[in-house]
Copies of this chain bind each other. A is one copy, B any other.
Amino acid sequence: MKRLGKQTISFDSPPTIVETASIVGPKEGQGPLAKYFDQCLEDEFWGEKTWEKAESKIIKETVNTVIHKSGIPMEQIDYCFAGDLLNQCISSSFGLRELNIPFFGVFGACSTFVESLCLGSVFIEGHGATNTLCATSSHFCSAEKQFRFPLELGNQRPPSAQWTVTGSGAAILSANGNGPYITTITPGKIIDMGIKDANNMGAAMAPSALDSLIVHFNDTGRKPSYYDVIVTGDLGYIGKEILTELSESKGFQIQNNYEDCGVLIFNKEEQDTHSGGSGCACIGTTFSGYFFKQLREKKINKILLIATGALMNSMSSQQGESIPGIAHAISIEN
């Protein structure tokens, strides 16, 4: 691998995304992408007693699914990179504790999936691993309870609020394979523009997406038109509009080939999801379910995936802190 410009790493023998898997909750299963997921659950508990245990089961079964689909024996997967939104990332550690694969816990809030792909691909490209597993999860109920209000309160959500996706996405990367390849990674910096509204994550995260987008294009010398599609994680309707405008003001025209997973995963009018989807599983399931299949079927051949995260907790907001954002970008090409 070699460094390109300020923040980007370019791979000489780019790792292949061998396989992906995704399991989603009932609301996602009623959304426009339902047919692309491996499994849509009928309820939020999946037979478990708590939402947290359900989330652990979802990531566990998603990982089992991706390993099964890949045909790679578990003992040939060298390292696992995973994380989630729950305090101390317990969804991942409880869900994956029986895996018997060396485990790197990762926390990038909703950018965790792409952060894991960055790490997993660097290990492969550097010959530290042949196969790596990257996974993440989120759950609407466990996230609402932890970050906002008890669900039982029936709290009203402002129009700028987003809906945490219930689900898990997982991918297996390999030194061996014929693509789609992870060709470059542009890990992001923490960007804090002083936004304090925890019900407007799109606005808090859009500046970090802009930063990583500009850095990626400057580092690689590419232009937005190089990609069939540029995809952000969970900026939602508000954040997507902000990023489109900000990008244009900086000379990067993305309006023709830009999509956001938070906009794609729900039907805003019918599903009452306000500004769109969010959570680690938003880009995790939308990429693993939808975009990966588009890449494999060569309906698209070049994608820039920018996952955004809001690096806060409920106490930091209570203590008057703003909401720093981060965005990690990777390019995936056939």
Contact = CB atoms under 8 A, between A and B. Distances in A.
Contact of A96 (B2, B79, B122, B190): B190
A7 to B, nearest CB: 5
Interface in A80-122: 83, 85-90, 93-94, 96-97, 99-109, 115, 118-119, 122
A189 B190 CA distance: 29
Contact of A187 (B85, B102, B188): B102
B3 A94 contact: no
A88 B85 contact: yes
A243 to B, nearest CB: 19
Interface in A292-320: 311-316, 319
A245 interface: no
A41 to B, nearest CB: 20
B127 A2 contact: yes
B102 A316 contact: no
Contacts of A86: 313
A294 to B, nearest CB: 28
A103 B187 contact: yes
B50 A319 contact: yes
A81 to B, nearest CB: 9
Contacts of A130: 3
Nearest to A215: B102
A258 interface: no
A170 B314 CA distance: 27
Contacts of A127: 1-3, 126
Contacts of A105: 83, 106-109, 115, 311, 326
A246 interface: no
Contacts of A128: 1, 3, 9, 122, 125-126
A96 B130 CA distance: 33
A38 interface: no
A49 B103 CA distance: 36
A125 B129 CA distance: 13
A321 B127 CA distance: 37
A326 B103 contact: yes
B97 A192 contact: yes
Interface in A187-210: 187-192
A109 to B, nearest CB: 7
A216 to B, nearest CB: 12
A228 interface: no
A78 interface: yes
A118 to B, nearest CB: 8
A122 B126 contact: yes
Nearest to A124: B126
Interface of A: 1-3, 7, 9, 49-50, 52-53, 78-79, 83, 85-90, 93-94, 96-97, 99-109, 115, 118-119, 122-123, 125-130, 187-192, 311-316, 319, 321, 324, 326
19 contacts: A1-B127, A3-B129, A3-B130, A49-B319, A79-B187, A87-B87, A88-B107, A88-B312, A90-B312, A93-B311, A94-B316, A97-B311, A100-B189, A103-B188, A103-B190, A105-B106, A105-B107, A105-B326, A125-B126
